[in-house]
Amino acid sequence: MKEFLYKLFLGKKEYNRPVRVSAYENLFKNLRQIWNNEKHNDVGFEKILRLFLVSVQVLFPGIHVRNVFGRFGTIGRNVAVEFYVAFKTILPFIFLSTGLYRHQWAVFISAYLLLETMFYVTSLIFVSDMFVKPRSYRRNILMLSFNYLEISLSFAVIYGGLHLLGDQPQSFVDYIYFSIVTSTTIGYGDFHPHSDLAKVMVCVQGVLVVSFIVLFLNFFSSKVETLHHEDEG
């Protein structure tokens, strides 16, 4: 059974190369490269944004997961990150289905992990050169799909936990429904924001999701297409 699970998640042992540089060392290396303009001659707001996106990682669990599981090799670290992304996607659904979304701490946790995802997705564009070349761009698209679902579920927790839709929803499914409808920009109108804060959150989600789809999914789709042409060549 152990061999079966290893083969399923990690593949061939020779592919699981050791991690020579810890996640923390890599972060400080990236900060130094940006500060010294070693890869790009970026200045002003661009440089400040790149420094911020790299340094803010230490405030979230993702980099610490990569650092801890780096001892198990590159594939072991990647699998741990995949499970972490899956956990972040499932957690808000657990909050919603069990009624825990009504507690402020559940809203805080969902918003906190949502911020990490927002910063990560933004980093894929503005500091993508700092990331290690992915094992598979198709894997990254799969992870982005989880991120998209996480964003929708996390906003559903926020809508429900802060009571932003008033007394309209009858169950947690209504919050998920409203969030996904908002994400797709369909807007049926059977539910609507109940306060100014709710309207702000809907606007934030709308802008975030549209940017997510247009900028990021298309970005990685083009990567897959480029690799496909290279394979044919």
For residue 132, is pLDDT > 60? no
Extract long-range pairs of 35-42: CB within 8 Å, 24+ residues apart: 39/129, 40/129
Q: Give per-residue pLDDT as tens, 8-32.
A: 666 666 666 777 888 899 889 888 9
Residue 10 falls within a domain, yes or no?
no
CATH code for the domain of 202: 1.10.287.70
**Crossing angle of helices 218-232/104-126, nearest 10°?**
40
**Counted domains in the chain:** 1
Residue 6 falls within a domain, yes or no?
no
Q: Give per-residue pLDDT as tens, 79-121.
A: 888 999 999 999 999 999 999 999 999 999 999 999 998 888 7
Residue 171 falls within a domain, yes or no?
yes
Residue 159 falls within a domain, yes or no?
yes
Reported as a pLDDT band with limits 50, 70 and 90, residue 191 is confident
Residue 7 falls within a domain, yes or no?
no
For residue 218, is pLDDT > 80? no
Residue of higher predicted confidence among 2 and 42: 42
Contact 91, 97 (CB under 8 A): no
Residue 1 falls within a domain, yes or no?
no
Average pLDDT score, the chain: 82
Arithmetic mean of pLDDT, 129-156: 78
Q: What is the residue range of 62's domain?
A: 17-232
pLDDT of residue 99: 93
Contact 31, 23 (CB under 8 A): no
Q: Give per-residue pLDDT as tens, 39-91.
A: 777 788 888 988 999 999 999 999 999 999 888 888 888 888 899 999 999 99
pLDDT of residue 233: 47
Residue 51 falls within a domain, yes or no?
yes
Residue 126 falls within a domain, yes or no?
yes
